[in-house]
Structure 1
Amino acid sequence: MAGVLASVDQRTQLVGENRLELLLFHLHSRHFFALNVFKVKEVVKLPHMNKMPNAHPKVCGVTTIRGESIPVIDLRQAICMPPCEKDADSNLVITEYNRTVQAFLVGKVDQIINTAWTEIMPTPKSVGRNHYLTALTKIKRDGVEHIVEIIDVEKVLAEIVEYNIEIPEDILDKSIIGELEGRKILHADDSPTARRQVADTLAQLGVEIIPATDGYEALKLLQHWADEGIDVEKELLAVITDAEMPVMDGYRLTYEIRNDARLKNLYIILNTSLSGSFNHAMVEKVGCNAFLSKFQPDLLVNEIQNRLRDVLDKE
């Protein structure tokens, strides 16, 4: 399975095409779950694991892959199911999120599917807030339609490694910090955890965050404002967008903004948990202004301050 994962060059071919690849697997049940292949480094059969003293209850051990010690998270337990069985069907999905490498203990790995973001459905609001999904999709097997549940890894990791939104005093530019009060930023991300991280960080500076749950919702909001005669480029300090979202991804959102004369000069920050080398290639291709890997409050604040300096210079 590791050899099936696409290279950086192959993955960049999907940029702007509003498509994604999903790794399908089971959690010792008949249900299908999925992770975005962009975030998967490799899949291996369950190797030897060592227990970690004083580890989080959802971390079931640590293993060594090619000389690197990697913590292993029991994905069943992480999404509030009984612990995962360790048997012949068990696998580790090695991923890279937020500049860290971790493994998820899963059951049988099924296959990789290539699909369109338009085939990805937001999680129904009726399921409430205490779920671990960012979206759903469907597949057909032997003429039977199955629901595939796409895991919200941002939430899983935030519950294991608590994120810190404290802004280091030494990065604040006292000469302009007061100018951030009341500035507006549109933030598109399908993960409620990711939206909360950005909003809680920038709220400390008086910045108003306008949330959107996917690129399509963000685009429609921008177009509505433009239709109402609002100068969107003056109204918003920036647009922050995740890369991978249902309905419309962040790359397609950027493409649509750059091709609308009323919006084309908006300052767009790609904020995602994907690997740096991959995203820098994507930023260059689709025309974002900046790239930030999640979740780094100090770099987020620095980027917003830099953007504000440019705006103040032009006012």
Structure 2
Amino acid sequence: MEIRENKGILLESGTNELEIIEFGIGQDSFGINVIKVREVINPLPLTRTPKGHPCVMGIIQLRGEVLPVIDLAKVLGYPPSEHPGQDKLIIAELNQMKVAFHVHSVARIHRISWGQIEKPDEFSRGLESSTTGIIKMDDERFILLVDFEKVVVDISPESGINLGRMKELGPRKRSDKRILIAEDSMILRRLIQETLEEAGYVNLTFCHDGSEAWNYLEGLTRDNADVTKELQLIITDIEMPKMDGHHLTKRIKEDKQLNKLPVVIFSSLITDDLQHKGAAVGAEAQVSKPEIVQLVKVIDSLVL
């Protein structure tokens, strides 16, 4: 299954929709956003890596590239596949890395709205550490969206946000600029807060998803006030329940009171192939996670 070449699969920007590939681990159903996926293939010959992470099965070579293979069943606490002949590799690109995720089966592609996705803590306290959302399908099944970025960072911490790199920027002055951040990950909210405060940006407001951010922005416009005096910049992730970052950006840029506010998209989905999606909805800048120093430089350029 070659995802990127099937132009009918990829959605236009800002519709608040996504398409997911449903896959199976054991008897349960999980999902991954199509735009993270390069292709789905049968398992390739595997080279074991000594003293590697227990969830890394080894490495494969695919078209001249060497990719780690992550055993998603082991990550999620499931036993090995009972039908290995059905196993698949999902080749994904995120956090500027290509990774192969070993799964037990691949079913089909579904088109859904971000509004259909609920945060896992609204259903079960045990799911927050491994999933970003829960989708209730029309046939009463649930599909869990795996937090693939967290899976990769847990295995390879150097691929995540590194606060130590802030030293590259040298001494910083405190700024009075007000910034709104839409980010659904509790861990990333904390890291972004620590980073921006280290960079001198201390007037921060955090929202858990695009819908909460939009409600906050609507509150600023009710009195026809000059919104730019209350807020100077917006940072948003892309993948968020209720409303994604592309749709949030589109609504901001279509609003006559809000469209002067600069929007920076900060996401693991910023790749050369996907830059056009953020540009299409009017974002002033797009920065790939985990390039936190670049994010600060972009903020500096937009608010000073």
**TM-score normalised by the chain length of structure 2:** 0.89
The answer to whether the 8 A contact 2:23-2:103 is kept is yes
Q: Which letter maps to 1:307?
A: L
1:63 partnered with 2:94:
no
Match of 2:34 in 1: 37
Alignment of 1:77-226 (within 5 A): 77-82=74-79, 87-125=84-122, 127-128=124-125, 130-140=128-138, 144-162=139-157, 163=160, 164-172=162-170, 174=171, 177-180=172-175, 182-208=176-202, 209-226=204-221
Structure 1 74/85 Cα, relative in aligned 2: closer, same or farther at 3 Å? farther
Q: Distance in 2 between matches of 1:124 and 1:202?
A: 27
The answer to whether the 8 A contact 2:86-2:104 is kept is yes
Alignment of 1:226-237 (within 5 A): 226-227=221-222, 231-237=226-232
Match of 2:43 in 1: 46
Post-superposition Cα deviations, 1:81-117, rounded to whole Å, max 9, x if no partner, equal 4455671121110100011101111111001111222
Match of 1:307 in 2: 302
Question: What's the offset of the Cα at 1:261?
Answer: 2.3
The CA RMSD over aligned residues, in Å, is 2.3
Count of matched residue positions in the alignment of Structure 1 and Structure 2: 299
Q: Distance in 1 between matches of 2:189 and 2:6?
A: 27
Structure 1 92/12 Cα, relative in aligned 2: closer, same or farther at 3 Å? closer
The answer to whether the 8 A contact 2:181-2:234 is kept is yes
Question: What's the offset of the Cα at 1:127?
Answer: 2.9
Post-superposition Cα deviations, 1:124-162, rounded to whole Å, max 9, x if no partner, equal 34533752111111224xxx4100100111221221121
Runs of 5+ in structure 2 lacking a partner? none
Post-superposition Cα deviations, 1:44-103, rounded to whole Å, max 9, x if no partner, equal 111111111221222111111111110011112223444556711211101000111011
Match of 1:295 in 2: 290
Question: What's the offset of the Cα at 1:169?
Answer: 2.9
Q: Secondary structure at the match of 1:221?
A: helix
Q: Secondary structure at the match of 1:306?
A: helix
Q: Which letter maps to 2:106?
A: V
Structure 1 10/110 Cα, relative in aligned 2: closer, same or farther at 3 Å? closer
Post-superposition Cα deviations, 1:161-182, rounded to whole Å, max 9, x if no partner, equal 213221343334x5xx3142x5
Match of 2:70 in 1: 73
**Sequence identity (%):** 31
**TM-score normalised by the chain length of structure 1:** 0.86
